[in-house]
Amino acid sequence: MAVWTRTRGRMMADPGLVVAFAAVGALLVLFVLYPAVRVLIYPRLADYLAVPDNPRWLQAARNSLLMMVLSTLTATAVGFLYAFAISRRDMPLRRLFQTLSVLPLFAPPFMVAFSYILMFGRQGLITKALFGLDVNIFGWQGLWLVQTVAFFPFAALVIGAVLEQISPTVEYAALNLGATEGGVIRTVLFPLARPGVAAAALVVAISVLADFGNAVVIAGGFPLLATEAWFRIEGLADLKGAAVAVALLIVPTMILFLLERYWVGQRTYTVLTGKGTRIEQPPTPPLIRWLLFGGCVVVSAFVVIVYVGVLTGSVATVWGYKWTPTLAHWRLGLAQGGPQLITSLKIGVLSALLTSAVAVLAAFITSRPTLPLRNAIDFLAVLPAALPGVFIGVGYLLAFNGPPIILSGTVWILILALSFWHIPLGYQAARAQLKQIDRSIEEAAQNLGATGMRVLWDVYLPLLGPAFMASFINAFIRAVTNLSIVVFLITPRTLVATYSILAMIGGGFWGAAAALTTALLAITLLGVGAARLVLRVGLRPIGAT
């Protein structure tokens, strides 16, 4: 990037910015817009019109919507109670609960389903070994439970951020005006959290609709749009059918996405208090506190069970029959999946770097106020958040299988698909951070004699460090643990760990699958730790003042 000019009015004359703008724009058009359009125009109009005549399609669509409603309701409700509980400073074990609720975000997306089959299935450690029950967990009920546990952390995260914003003074004001402690919660805290709850519900609903990993493992014969696309390709080599399935899926996710972005997103209550309050929260009434505590214990138990299930699964000799510990599964799993773990790791690092670089650059460009078309770039940078992984998978399969660009069969198609799918979070983090940076800081640097290039280097890059790190970590985790995209794009030469685990689960090698899942989880956590270390040393954040 060359010189950023001194005055904002002349920004367009800046060749460096123009080049960066063109490059980012071209990348987003080619790797976000083009595959999406390819999916939508691949089936002919007649194929779309035939959808109502196909009972299987209708069934899948209806099931997807049903699961969306059920799982969104429960996951959001649980997420809200959980977030509310850990927002109370006087909640016992608050830190522990907080950590436990974040843990599932590091797990591969099918892990909850897999572990619950081990724990609550027909051979379940809890259902059969402990209680002697014969439970069939496959089907919509099992999926409902699994999705609730898998997605409540998202809801808790979104709602928690909103609850954190509420100044304790508002609670004192309500108490002072005669509200009882319960009244404060009912009339002030709940209504203030409502926009957060709406946003959380929409985020969860999109995730549930797009959920491939859990559905493919536990839904059994229950057809869903997300899995249907893959079954079409795997079983029938029916590309057109797959495209139709993901195109159907995109209608509700797009609606939810637009709702979230342009309706709920505008509605969060602005924090009015200029000065930070150092005043402590008033105490939570004991009855409510202990009820919430009980709820947190139950929910946390379900989270812990996910990990216990996979860990014990990797060492039990024959699941359901012989519980003596063995390392055989680890040997088998690592022998078969070891190289794929390395591939996953490589793909994760490369794609996370690419994601973060493009995301930060795009955010920098769209935060320049005078640029034309910046809204278009902005839209393309957040659009992937509305696209289910299976949609991206099918899109890349269709788009880069032939001219002008042929990538299929290479590792690059995986890296690019994962990179561009994960841009929105990093982009939004960088945008938010840029918004925090007062213009006057840039002006001060210029005023003191820094030329354009130095302003970017001295002022913006150090301040964007935290956003880059957030983007990298998020993209890395999601790339390493991804299943929904990779199932469409891998070839025998580019196998990754998640796909092997899925194959092992399908083939009944539960022990090996559990061992490999544990190894993948360990690698993810190690990778995140390493990334934090490297980025902290490399890009020391200059305190967000």
Partner 1 sequence: MPDQPHVRLVGVTKRLGTHLAVDGISLDVAEGTFMTLLGPSGCGKTTTLRMIAGFYSPDRGEIRIRDRVINDIPPHRRNTAMVFQEYALFPHMTVAENVGYGLRMRRVPRPEARRRVALVIELVGLSGQERKFPHQLSGGQQQRVALARALIVEPEVLLLDEPLSNLDAKLRVRVRTEIRQLQQRLGKTTLYVTHDQEEALAISDQIAVMHNGRILQVGTPAEIYFHPANRFVADFVGQGVFLPAKVLNARQVEIELGTLEGNIPNACTIGCDACGKGCRADILLRPDDVVHDDAAPTQAEVVHKAFRGAEILYTLRLASGRKVLALVPSHHNHALGERIGIRLDVDHVVAFQPEP
Which one of 240-248, 264-272, 341-349, 421-429 is the stretch in contact with partner 1 (CB under 8 A)?
A: 264-272
Distance CA(448)–CA(438), nearest Å, equals 16
Decide if residue 179 touches partner 1 (CB under 8 A). yes
Dig out the tokens for 123 from the structure. Answer: 């051979």
CB of 274 to partner 1, least distance (A): 6
Which one of 88-96, 176-184, 214-222, 234-242 is the stretch in contact with partner 1 (CB under 8 A)?
A: 176-184
Query: Please, what is the angle between helix 286-313 and helix 94-102, to 10°?
Result: 40
CB of 197 to partner 1, least distance (A): 13
Q: What is the DSSP string of 442-460?
A: HHHHHHTT--HHHIIIIII
Give SS3 for 317. strand
Decide if residue 239 touches partner 1 (CB under 8 A). no
Of the two residues 158 and 504, which places its CB atom closer to partner 1 in the complex? 158
Query: Phi/psi at 322 (nearest 5 deg)?
Result: -130, 110
The answer to whether residues 154 and 72 touch, using CB atoms and an 8 Å cutoff, is no
Which one of 82-90, 167-175, 231-239, 301-309 is the stretch in contact with partner 1 (CB under 8 A)?
A: 167-175
Which one of 91-99, 136-144, 272-280, 520-528 is the stretch in contact with partner 1 (CB under 8 A)?
A: 272-280
Decide if residue 492 touches partner 1 (CB under 8 A). no
Decide if residue 23 touches partner 1 (CB under 8 A). no
The answer to whether residues 299 and 108 touch, using CB atoms and an 8 Å cutoff, is no
Of the two residues 274 and 403, which places its CB atom closer to partner 1 in the complex? 274
Decide if residue 274 touches partner 1 (CB under 8 A). yes
Decide if residue 412 touches partner 1 (CB under 8 A). no
CB of 176 to partner 1, least distance (A): 5
Of the two residues 178 and 221, which places its CB atom closer to partner 1 in the complex? 178
User: Count of residues for the chain?
Assistant: 545
Torsion of CA 386, 391, 397, 400, to 10 degrees: -20
Lookup result for tokens 């088998």: 332
**Cα 485 to the center of its chain, rounded Å:** 13
The answer to whether residues 382 and 428 touch, using CB atoms and an 8 Å cutoff, is yes
Query: Please, what is the angle between helix 497-507 and helix 510-538, to 10°?
Result: 160
Give SS3 for 102. helix
Decide if residue 33 touches partner 1 (CB under 8 A). no
> Hey, which residues does 316 pair with through a beta bridge?
325
The answer to whether residues 63 and 224 touch, using CB atoms and an 8 Å cutoff, is yes
Interacting residues with partner 1 between 427 and 456 (CB under 8 A): none
Among the listed residues 45, 46, 177, 544, the single contact to partner 1 using CB under 8 A: 177
Among the listed residues 99, 187, 317, 491, the single contact to partner 1 using CB under 8 A: 187
Among the listed residues 55, 178, 372, 402, the single contact to partner 1 using CB under 8 A: 178
Which one of 122-130, 269-277, 286-294, 467-475 is the stretch in contact with partner 1 (CB under 8 A)?
A: 269-277
Decide if residue 170 touches partner 1 (CB under 8 A). yes
Which one of 165-173, 250-258, 486-494, 507-515 is the stretch in contact with partner 1 (CB under 8 A)?
A: 165-173
Among the listed residues 271, 287, 318, 406, the single contact to partner 1 using CB under 8 A: 271
Decide if residue 266 touches partner 1 (CB under 8 A). no
Which one of 29-37, 134-142, 164-172, 304-312 is the stretch in contact with partner 1 (CB under 8 A)?
A: 164-172
What one-letter code names the amino acid at 406?
I
Among the listed residues 191, 265, 286, 529, the single contact to partner 1 using CB under 8 A: 191
The DSSP letter of residue 158 is: H
Dig out the tokens for 59 from the structure. Answer: 């069934």
Torsion of CA 334, 338, 341, 345, to 10 degrees: 130
Dig out the tokens for 506 from the structure. Answer: 């399908």
CB of 458 to partner 1, least distance (A): 34
Query: Residue 285: is the preceding peptide bond cis (ω within 30°)?
Result: no
Of the two residues 169 and 317, which places its CB atom closer to partner 1 in the complex? 169
Cα angle value 384/388/393 (rounded, 5°): 90
Among the listed residues 1, 65, 157, 188, the single contact to partner 1 using CB under 8 A: 188
Run of H or E residues at 392? helix 389-399
The answer to whether residues 200 and 80 touch, using CB atoms and an 8 Å cutoff, is yes
Decide if residue 192 touches partner 1 (CB under 8 A). yes
Decide if residue 541 touches partner 1 (CB under 8 A). no
The answer to whether residues 495 and 89 touch, using CB atoms and an 8 Å cutoff, is no
Which one of 182-190, 240-248, 476-484, 516-524 is the stretch in contact with partner 1 (CB under 8 A)?
A: 182-190
Report how far apart, in Å, the C-alpha atoms of 161 and of each of 84, 102, 154, 279 are: 10, 13, 11, 19
Which one of 86-94, 175-183, 214-222, 367-375 is the stretch in contact with partner 1 (CB under 8 A)?
A: 175-183
Of the two residues 92 and 183, which places its CB atom closer to partner 1 in the complex? 183
Dig out the tokens for 404 from the structure. Answer: 């002008």
Of the two residues 170 and 255, which places its CB atom closer to partner 1 in the complex? 170
Decide if residue 180 touches partner 1 (CB under 8 A). yes
CB of 205 to partner 1, least distance (A): 23
Decide if residue 197 touches partner 1 (CB under 8 A). no
Among the listed residues 52, 53, 262, 270, the single contact to partner 1 using CB under 8 A: 270
Binding site for partner 1 (CB under 8 A): 167, 169-170, 172-181, 183, 187-188, 191-192, 194, 269-275, 277, 282
